[in-house]
Structure 1
Amino acid sequence: MSHLKPTGSLPSFSRRTLIRGALAAGLASTGAGSLVACGGGGGSSSGGGTVGGEVTLGVYQGDEVPRKAMQAMIDGYAHGSNVKINFVDHETFKNNINNYLQGNPDDVFTWFAGYRARFFAQNGLVSDLSDIWKNFDGMPESMKNASSTTDGKQILVPSTYYPWGVFYRPSVWQARGYTEPNSKAEWLTLCEKMKADGIIPLAFANKGGWESMGTFDMMNLRVNGYDFHVSLMAGQEAWDGEKVKNVFKTWSEFTPFEQPDANGRTWQEGAQALINEQAGMMTLGMFIGQQFETTQYADDLDFFIFPEFDPAIGADVVEAPIDGFMMAAKPKNEAGAKDLLTYLASPEAVNITLQFDPSVIGANSNADQTAYSALQKKAVQIIGEAKNISQFLDRDTRPDFASTVVGPALQSFIQNPADIDKILANVEQQKKSIFG
């Protein structure tokens, strides 16, 4: 069965995670969108429903670019007119995902690969998709692994991924004679030069509580290496030990060059500082490109990964989170939901997304890369050369630990760097309680 419309033109995708407790039903008054499903929930999970029947889709594509991309992708689906999309503000969606899944969820919903997907599977909140995965073509083994439970069941359909890096405007760098650093020492020297030139070296935002996790991840990966990072995320290392303290000592070398008051700034506002030439660099995911798309600087964006800090550790790990779709544990229309998910896994669906959102890369290896921007091609090359790929702190560890412990701890460090020993002692105490 074809999942594309037989006729008609080929007319988004975004961010992160946290799990907290506000009631989904009370979100409508916030103006950010409601996490109450358009329909669905409570139905049979034993193959009920029809392919041509109504399917509800809950998505966190709240921003303009990814929202248009999502709508266009559904418009390209053979049964797109039967898909009822529930657009929700990104932060609202992820902050209330627990209540959403335990209440009356949509048949299909957007989410993230890795620990966060497995967490919902372990708690019986999502469905096994192994049967449709058997028919997927073009999905690399790495994507399958990231979309599977520890016992080998596929629970997520990956759509796109994107690297984290240090982004900058090439035209600004060329005019001022800046070049990409190859070591920590060179990076600090570059920061000094920018500061002397009257530019904030590092745009910085952390209002959501997750943004600084990317900086921590890369600092830890460069200071202590991939194996330690994975072990730390699994709760097997001491947060108040010397290795983690060394991460923050290294980070403290860069804090004088970071944009102040980060805890009160959104990532979009931080990106604007880069666009307006107020800042020279920003550590963020490639979704930063969404802020450039509607400006005259749409093609004036490049990035480098964190350079080598220690020759013994190297710089062969890249952070590249994967975004995709999951199916609720009891979808109202299981047959229709699985047909939609099969379409969403196809290169045809991803190609539509890529037309609208050049800040991501297609998870399906058969997706058309001929139209990739220079930024996308560079990302594919860098990720292809990486020895290891991490997801993101709030996807690589327990959600309750990431959102309620590490996020606030990083905000505290940003506000009071001198309190780091006390902050880490508190993190370690809570880690022991959460991980057992």
Structure 2
Amino acid sequence: MVHSPGSGPGGCAHRAARGVTRRSLLRGAAAGAGAVAVPALLTACGSGPGGGVTLGSNASDAVPKRAYADAFAAYEKKSKKDVKVNTVNHENINRYLQGTPDDVFTWFAGYRMQYFARKGLLADISDLWRGFDGFSDAVKKQSTGEDGKQYFVPYYYYPWAVFHRKSVFRTRGYEIPKNFDQYRALARQMQKDGLTPFALGDKEGWPAMGTFDYLDMRANGYDFHIALMRGEKSWTSPQVRQVFDLWRGLLPYHQKGANGRTWQEAAQSLQQKKTGMAVLGLPHPGQQFTVQNRADLDFFPFPEIDPAFGQEAVEAPVDGFLLAKKARNRAGAEDLLRFLATPQAELIYLKSDPNNVAVNSGAGTGSYDALQKKAVRLVSGARQISQFMDRDTRPDFASTVLIQAIQQFIGDPDDIDGLVNGIERQKKQIFAAD
């Protein structure tokens, strides 16, 4: 088992986590809803009352793993209590939670949290929330289950936008596009200049979801998009067909072979100035840029398509922590969660991982770099905030239908009718299962 540096002694035997990916998390969530997935054989060690707290973390990349270790080490120093961090591959998150899970584990806000709360696999932490400060009503809503109780402790968020290098735009004379026509014109100009306009790596199945989300929210509005994700709108509607048609017009300006390229490779191509733009979340290019060239990284909001909706919606997923219903050391876990909900705990994390933004308003922005401050302005100015396709819909629908559908579209964008009909047919089956 891989332990983080601040996990303390006396770990337990877990299966080693290698290459924890968002797609593996999605497959695991799907398995809990009846889809086929490879069992992860997760067996948390747990701890008795009064002992250390176990924490299941899906952070296997070096930067967030180190940042979490710093935060947990600070808690250990303050509380004199151990935090045993198990870097686990939540390959089958449902089975993990029904088995012997860690006391606390990293997860996502919004619908992805509500899904497992509804299944009775999470502990109600409404009592803890009554003592929390610094979280907006919007953040609290994203931490609340369908029953009105709180289950989630938010930790940080990061916006999705169109990333680019300042120096490329400056030397080429490119201007930031405000609307979709200007966006396509810029892509055409980049291609004429011998630069691949858009980086794209969708090997994991989720990175391209961000492009769909923005196209849908800009063309049809936030309310339609969320209703679509919740199964309340038809994928065969003219609105959805328009989204894929708009996207089809952009695909010739993207890197070829996207379904065989990782998001890291796509972000690296932006860093190497082989591509001009990339629709990603802040941590993705952020982790691929060195300290020396990070100042050259910049972003702009996804351009307007319909003036009625403008650029008012922003994709800004919130990550944080959940308390397992089967936690063996609930008192210790709640004490850890109280600490993690403080602005101090968030700032400790962000000192080692500047690719995110604190959720707690008390954290302040004095230590932020220019990119983080710009991210705060983008999100604070949004009228609506989405969580991301695989977080705003059922995890089984995202993993067994949408991942494959979007990869299919990238590989063959000309059969939109067949694509949307297939998605709608499977959507009806999955959403009717509850």
What TM-score do the two structures reach when normalised by structure 2? 0.90
- Provide the residue aligned with 2:39 in structure 1: 23
Distance 1:290 1:75 in 2: 24
Deviations 1:217-237 (A, max 9, x none): 000001111111111111111
Distance 1:336 1:60 in 2: 21
- 8 Å CA contact retained: 1:69, 1:356: yes
- Provide the residue aligned with 1:308 in structure 2: 304
Distance 1:79 1:96 in 2: 32
- Provide the residue aligned with 2:431 in structure 1: 435
Once the two structures are superposed, the pairs formed by residues 90-109 of structure 1 within 5 Å of their partners are 92-93=89-90, 95-109=91-105
Q: Does 1:326 pair with 2:322?
A: yes
Structure 1 vs Structure 2 CA RMSD: 1.5
- 8 Å CA contact retained: 2:155, 2:320: yes
- 8 Å CA contact retained: 1:272, 1:291: no
Once the two structures are superposed, the pairs formed by residues 225-244 of structure 1 within 5 Å of their partners are 225-244=221-240
Distance 1:288 1:80 in 2: 35
Q: Does 1:65 pair with 2:59?
A: no
User: Bigger CA drift: 95-104 or 310-319?
Assistant: 95-104
Deviation at 1:73, TM superposition (A): 0.4
- Provide the residue aligned with 2:11 in structure 1: none
Partner-residue secondary structure (3-state), 1:352:
helix
- Provide the residue aligned with 1:8 in structure 2: none
Give the unaligned 5+ runs of structure 2.
Answer: 1-19, 32-36
Deviations 1:355-397 (A, max 9, x none): 0111101011101310111111111111111111111111111
Once the two structures are superposed, the pairs formed by residues 22-421 of structure 1 within 5 Å of their partners are 22-25=38-41, 35-37=42-44, 39-40=45-46, 49-50=49-50, 53-77=51-75, 78-79=78-79, 82-88=82-88, 92-93=89-90, 95-294=91-290, 296-421=292-417
Partner-residue secondary structure (3-state), 1:432:
helix
Distance 1:184 1:143 in 2: 30
Deviation at 1:296, TM superposition (A): 2.9
Distance 1:397 1:312 in 2: 25
Deviation at 1:293, TM superposition (A): 4.6
Partner-residue secondary structure (3-state), 2:373:
helix
Give the unaligned 5+ runs of structure 1.
Answer: 1-13, 26-34, 44-48
Aligned residues: 401
Distance 1:370 1:292 in 2: 24
Distance 1:222 1:138 in 2: 30
Partner-residue secondary structure (3-state), 1:427:
helix
Deviations 1:318-346 (A, max 9, x none): 01000000011111100000000110111
User: Bigger CA drift: 76-85 or 129-138?
Assistant: 76-85
**CA pair 270-80 structure 1, distance change in 2 beyond 3 A:** farther
Distance 1:182 1:80 in 2: 52
Deviation at 1:59, TM superposition (A): 0.5
User: Bigger CA drift: 228-237 or 333-342?
Assistant: 228-237
Deviations 1:102-156 (A, max 9, x none): 2221000000000000111111111001111111111111111100012210000
Partner-residue secondary structure (3-state), 1:299:
helix
Deviation at 1:289, TM superposition (A): 4.0
Distance 1:333 1:279 in 2: 49
Deviation at 1:209, TM superposition (A): 0.8
Partner-residue secondary structure (3-state), 1:318:
strand
- 8 Å CA contact retained: 2:145, 2:151: yes
- 8 Å CA contact retained: 1:56, 1:86: yes
Amino acid at match of 2:72: I
Deviation at 1:176, TM superposition (A): 1.2
- 8 Å CA contact retained: 2:313, 2:386: yes
Amino acid at match of 1:242: P
Amino acid at match of 1:40: G
- 8 Å CA contact retained: 2:118, 2:146: no
- Provide the residue aligned with 1:3 in structure 2: none
Distance 2:353 2:21 in 1: 13
Runs of 4+ in 1 over 6 A off after TM superposition: none
Deviation at 1:259, TM superposition (A): 0.7
Deviation at 1:312, TM superposition (A): 2.4
- 8 Å CA contact retained: 2:21, 2:204: no
Partner-residue secondary structure (3-state), 1:404:
helix
Distance 1:99 1:213 in 2: 26
What TM-score do the two structures reach when normalised by structure 1? 0.89
**CA pair 65-273 structure 1, distance change in 2 beyond 3 A:** same
Distance 2:263 2:351 in 1: 23
Partner-residue secondary structure (3-state), 1:259:
coil
Amino acid at match of 2:86: N
Partner-residue secondary structure (3-state), 2:121:
coil
